[in-house]
Amino acid sequence: MKILIATGIYPPDIGGPAQYAKETAKAWTRAGHSVSVCSFSAFRAFPSGIRHLAYFSAVFFRALRADLIFIPDTFSAAVPAVAVGKILRKKTIIRTGGDFLWEQFVERTGDLVLLRNFYTTHMKKLNAKERLIFRLVGWALRNASAVVFSTKWQRDIFEKPYHLDLQKCFIVENYYGMHTQHVYSDVLENIRIKKVFVGGTRPLKWKNLARVKEAFAQAQKQGAPVVLQLETGSRGKFLLDIEASYAVIIASLGDISPNTILEAIAFGKPFILTRETGLYEKLKDIGVWVNPESVDDIAAQIEWLADDTNYQAQAAKVRAFSFTHSWDEIASEILTILQQINTLNR
C-alpha cells in the first residue's frame, strides 16, 4: 500500500504530531508499505494563504499515486489534505491531537477557559479569524473518510459542535512504551535534597504555567524542597530531564493524552496531572490529580508528593503499570480502520 502522511510538523520539529508522523511512517515501512511524508512546516516561510495553496499543490501531486492520505493534524495540513482527498477520491484519515481553535482563543484572549467548557460557553466570543478556523476544522473533520481520536474524552467534546458522524469516528490509544532503563545522563545522586519536577512545555497560556509557578512558590513557603524545571530543548535533552527528575507535572487547562506523562511512566516517574485530560480513566489509579483552576490544590498535591512515603508509594504504582501500545500496533489499527470504512462504502 502507498501511504502519504500529510502532517503539520515533522522532526526536527518538536511536538506530539511530529513524533506521531515519524513513528507511524517507520511502522508502516517496517510492515512493507511505501510511505512518503509532506510536512506543512516546510511552507511556513510563505505568507498565510499562499503557504496553504503551496501545501495543497505539494500534497496533490504526492497523493496521485497514494492509496491513503493519513493526516495527524486538524487544521493547517488537514484542510488542504482533505480537499486533495475529495478531488482525487482518495481515502483520508485525520488523527486529532490537541485543539487548535481553543489554543488560539486562549492565547489571544488570556481567558483561561477549560477545554471541556469552551464549545458550550465561549463560541460567541470568537473573532472573525477564529470563526473561520472553526468552520474549516469542522469541514475537514466531516469530510475526512474517518477521524481518529486518542481518547473518548476528546471525541465527546468535538462531537456536537462539529456535527460529527460517530460511525466515522474511531479511538486509537496513544503510544505507551515499555519501562526503560536507558541512561541519557547521570541521574541526580539524591533527589530527596533537590526534588526537581519537570514541567517543560511550550510557554502557552493554556498550559497554565502562571498558576503552576504560583503553586510551587506556595509549596516552597511551606518548606517543601521542590524545584520546577520548565526549560526545554531537543527531544533527547527532554528525555534526559525526565529521567533525572523527581517527578513530572502537567496542570494545563486541557490535555488530550500528553506524551510527557506517557514518557514519565516509561521511566517509572511519579506524575501530577490535570484532571482535565482524556487519560484520567486509563491512569486514575497511578496518578496524582489536580484541579487546574485551583492554585491551592496544585500546591497541596506538590507538597503531598514531596513526602518520601507518598513518593515511594506512587513510584511503585507507576512501575507496576504494565499496559503497552506500540507504534506497530497503532499503525496496524489505523489500517484496520481503513478496511472498515472501505467496507462501509461498498
Q: Which three cell numbers stand for residue 109?
A: 484572549
Task: Return d(Cα 181, Cα 184) in angstroms, integer.
Answer: 9
Is the pLDDT at 192 greater than 60? The verdict is: no
pLDDT of residue 181: 53
Q: What is the DSSP string of 93-135?
A: EEE--S-HHHHHHHHHH-----HHHHHHHSGGG--HHHHHHHH
Confidence of residue 345 (pLDDT cuts 50, 70, 90): confident
Q: Which three cell numbers stand for residue 286?
A: 497511578
Q: What is the DSSP string of 268-281?
A: T--EEEESSBTTHH
Confidence of residue 239 (pLDDT cuts 50, 70, 90): confident
pLDDT of residue 331: 98
Is the pLDDT at 196 greater than 70? The verdict is: yes
Confidence of residue 44 (pLDDT cuts 50, 70, 90): confident
Quick: pLDDT tens for 87-122: 999 999 999 988 999 999 999 999 999 999 999 999
Domains and CATH numbers, the chain: 2-175+326-344 (3.40.50.2000), 195-320 (3.40.50.2000)
SS3 (DSSP) at 76: coil
Task: Return d(Cα 112, Cα 110) in angstroms, integer.
Answer: 6
pLDDT of residue 246: 95
Quick: pLDDT tens for 20-42: 999 999 999 999 999 999 999 98
Angle, alpha carbons 10-21-337 (nearest 5°): 155
Q: Which three cell numbers stand for residue 23?
A: 513513528
SS3 (DSSP) at 168: helix
Eight-state DSSP code of residue 34? E
pLDDT of residue 237: 79
Quick: pLDDT tens for 260-294: 999 999 999 999 999 999 999 999 999 999 999 99
Percent of the chain clearing pLDDT 70 (strictly above): 95
Q: Where are the alpha helices (DSSP H) in the chain?
A: 16-30, 50-63, 78-88, 100-109, 115-121, 128-143, 152-159, 209-221, 235-243, 259-266, 280-283, 295-306, 308-320, 327-344
Mean pLDDT of the residues in the chain: 92
**Pick from 325, 280, 344: which is nearest to 172 by CA?**
325
Quick: pLDDT tens for 291-339: 999 999 999 999 999 999 999 999 999 999 999 999 999 999 999 999 9
pLDDT of residue 236: 75
Is the pLDDT at 183 greater than 60? The verdict is: no
Q: Cell match 532503563: residue?
A: 181
Confidence of residue 233 (pLDDT cuts 50, 70, 90): low
pLDDT of residue 48: 81
CA 101 to centroid of chain Cα atoms: 14
Is the pLDDT at 188 greater than 60? The verdict is: no
CA 317 to centroid of chain Cα atoms: 24
Compute the average pLDDT of residues 124-132: 97
Q: Which three cell numbers stand for residue 315?
A: 513510584
**Pick from 51, 147, 76: which is nearest to 341 by CA?**
147
CB 207 within 8 A of CB 191: no
Task: Return d(Cα 327, Cα 334) in angstroms, integer.
Answer: 11
**Pick from 218, 175, 221, 226: which is nearest to 198 by CA?**
226
Is the pLDDT at 151 greater than 90? The verdict is: yes
